[in-house]
């Protein structure tokens, strides 16, 4: 009874992770065959305005930084659909956003005043305060550190019976950190109501996505953590919204976490201290320009008569006024001082810290 057994081959091959990203809107703004938008007209226009706001703020932030009025700043440029599409899948009243640092419109959607975000980039510690009721954690500079925190937040909210979902952002670079894997793994074991939104923008400063991981897609890691993963066109507002809504719905229904990889592209420098021309191939950059996420939504809205020149001008004027108002407000804020080194370090100032504070104040005064 001797049968020859076939030689072993690995059951799970790299190619298994390859899939076409989910799309709803084609680059020309037309719906894919049979696709139906998951946002109604008003929601779509609102989301588009938020994307435009983000783009306008990027420009303002860059110019303020160049004038020395703003600190190092990372624009969202190119990733507006990925951030906004995900954010509008949440209910800001109960759901939470845990950011990396490149997700301003998601924070605004949750209710963070623009002024708070701006204060942070002015180098003022008071920018760290999100008003009570605004469901966001502070922006994160230590890459991937936010991910296990988001799992804990989701776990804790669920344990206390709150009907809340946590949306946590990270980049393709951050997804190489141990904290990323630990967080996904933990979330899977707990069934925590968290959505990992991995924005694959092609780059981590100068390091291309291809050097971060040999995995064909980053979403394909999900089954290894025992959670669903999906790949979506990150420059397609409606596709991102649909996929993230699905993940949020499952999390809300008690079906646990998901990993969503948005395929998008950083249209420019990593931040105001970077010069992407040193490493970003010009032809690659050019190939992404026609896929601009904002142009795509605008084309769609215009084709459905939901946006015209008049509305466009009104929206842009409104955005410009709001940003200018915020700039004036934050630039008028009394500069922070010694007290802001010591405030909020702990619940109480120990006698030793109180003495350090007094010494420092004295040294500033005698100067």
Partner 1 sequence: MSTLNMLQAINATLRAELARDERVMVLGQDVGRLGGVFRATDGLLDEFGADRVVDMPLAEAAIVGASIGLAASGLVPVAELQFLGFSHQAFHQIGAQLARMRYRSQGRFPMPVVLRAPFGGGVRTPELHSEALEAQFVQSPGLAVVTPATPADAKGLLQTAVRSSDPVLFCEPLRGYRLVTGEVPDEDCPIPFGRSRVAREGDDVTIVAWSAAVQVAEKAADVLAEEGISVMVLDLRTLVPLDETGLIEAVAATGRCVVVHEAPLSAGFGAEVVATVNDGAFWSLEAPVARVAAPDTPYPPGRIEDLFVPTVARVVAAVRATVKAG
Ligand X SMILES: Cc1ncc(C[n+]2csc(CCOP(=O)(O)OP(=O)(O)O)c2C)c(N)n1
Q: Which residues are catalytic?
A: 266, 270, 279
Instruction: Give the residue from 255, 79, 235 showing the smallest Cα distance to 169.
Output: 79
Ranked by CB distance to ligand X, the top (closest) residue is 171
122 binds, options partner 1, ligand X, none, Cβ within 5 to 8 A by partner type: partner 1
CA dist 276 and 238 (Å) reads 29
User: Which one of 6, 133, 254, 335 is in contact with partner 1 (CB under 8 A)?
Assistant: 335
The residue among 205, 57, 75, 61 whose CA lies nearest residue 122 is 61
Closest CA to 258 of 225, 220, 228: 228
Q: How many CB atoms lie within 10 A of CB 36?
A: 9
Tokens representing 128? 């760290």
Residue 264 binding result from ligand X, partner 1, none, given CB thresholds of 5 to 8 Å by partner type: none
| Spatial distance between the Cα atoms of 136 and 130, rounded to a whole number of angstroms | 7
How far is Cα 106 from Cα 115, in angstroms, rounded to an integer? 15
205: left (phi over 0), alpha (psi -120 to 50) or beta: left
Task: Look at residue 201 and give the partner it binds from ligand X, partner 1, none, a contact being a CB closer than 5 to 8 Å depending on partner kind.
Answer: ligand X
CA dihedral 263→268→274→275, nearest 10 degrees, is: 120
Q: Is 13 in the site for partner 1 (CB under 8 A)?
A: no
Buried-state track 167-199, b at ≥16 Cβ within 10 A, e below 16 = bbbbbbbbbbbebbbebbbbbbebbbbbbbbbb
Q: Which two tokens stand for residue 164?
A: 């809340």
Three-class secondary structure of residue 195 per DSSP? strand
Q: Does 367 bind partner 1 (CB under 8 A)?
A: yes
The residue whose two tokens read 């933990």 is 186
Hey, which residues between 204 and 243 contact partner 1 (CB under 8 A)? 204-207, 211-213
Site for partner 1 in 252-311 (CB under 8 A): 273-274, 278-279
> Quick one: 34 or 178, whose CB is closer to ligand X?
178
The correct pick among 104, 158, 174, 187 for binding partner 1 (CB under 8 A) is 174
Segment 48 to 107, residues that bind partner 1, using CB under 8 A: 71-72, 101
User: Of residues 1, 141, 253, 282, which one binds partner 1 by CB under 8 A?
Assistant: 141
CB of 142 to ligand X, least distance (A): 5
360 forms part of the interface with partner 1 (CB under 8 A): yes
176 binds partner 1 (CB under 8 A): yes
102 binds, among partner 1, ligand X, none (CB under 5 to 8 A by kind): ligand X
Binding footprint of partner 1, residue count (CB under 8 A): 46
Q: Return residues touching ligand X (CB under 6 A).
A: 102, 141-143, 171-174, 201, 203-205, 266, 270
3 state SS of 223: helix
266 contacts which partner out of ligand X, partner 1, none, CB within 5 to 8 A by kind? Answer: ligand X
Closest CA to 61 of 266, 229, 269: 269
- What residues make contact with partner 1 under the rule CB under 8 A? 71-72, 101, 120, 122-125, 127, 141-143, 173-174, 176-179, 204-207, 211-213, 273-274, 278-279, 335-338, 340-342, 345, 352-353, 356-357, 360, 363-364, 366-367
């Amino acid at each position: 009874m001797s049968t020859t057994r076939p030689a072993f081959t690995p059951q799970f091959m790299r190619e298994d992770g390859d899939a076409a990203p989910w799309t709803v809107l084609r680059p020309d703004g037309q719906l894919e065959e049979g696709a139906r938008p998951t946002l109604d007209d008003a929601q779509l226009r609102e989301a588009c305005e938020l994307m435009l706001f983000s783009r306008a703020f990027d420009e303002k932030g860059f110019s303020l930084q160049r004038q020395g009025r703003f600190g190092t700043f990372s624009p969202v440029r190119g990733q507006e659909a990925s951030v906004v599409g995900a954010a509008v899948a949440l209910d800001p009243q109960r759901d939470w956003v845990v950011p990396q640092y490149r997700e301003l419109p998601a924070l605004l959607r949750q209710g963070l005043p623009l002024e708070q975000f701006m204060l942070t980039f002015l180098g003022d510690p008071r920018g760290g305060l999100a008003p009570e009721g605004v469901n966001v954690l502070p922006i994160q500079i230590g890459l991937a550190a936010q991910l296990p925190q988001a799992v804990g937040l989701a776990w804790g909210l669920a344990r206390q019976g709150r009907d809340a979902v946590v949306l946590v952002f990270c980049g393709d670079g951050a997804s190489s950190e141990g904290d990323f894997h630990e967080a996904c793994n933990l979330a899977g074991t707990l069934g925590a109501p968290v959505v990992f939104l991995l924005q694959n923008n092609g780059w981590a400063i100068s390091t291309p996505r291809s050097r971060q991981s040999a995995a064909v897609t980053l979403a394909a890691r999900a089954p290894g953590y025992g959670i669903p993963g999906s790949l979506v066109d990150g420059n397609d507002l409606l596709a991102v919204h649909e996929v993230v809504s699905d993940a949020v719905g499952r999390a809300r229904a008690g079906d646990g976490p998901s990993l969503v990889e948005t395929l998008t592209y950083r249209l420019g420098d990593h931040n105001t201290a970077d010069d992407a021309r040193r490493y970003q191939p010009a032809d690659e950059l050019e190939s992404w320009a026609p896929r601009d996420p904002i142009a795509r939504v605008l084309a769609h809205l215009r084709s459905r008569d939901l946006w015209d020149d008049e509305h466009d001008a009104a929206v842009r004027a409104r955005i410009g006024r709001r940003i200018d108002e915020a700039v004036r407000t934050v630039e008028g804020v009394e500069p922070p001082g010694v007290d802001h080194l010591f405030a909020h370090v702990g619940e109480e100032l120990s006698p030793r810290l109180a003495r350090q504070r007094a010494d420092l104040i004295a040294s500033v005064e005698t100067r």
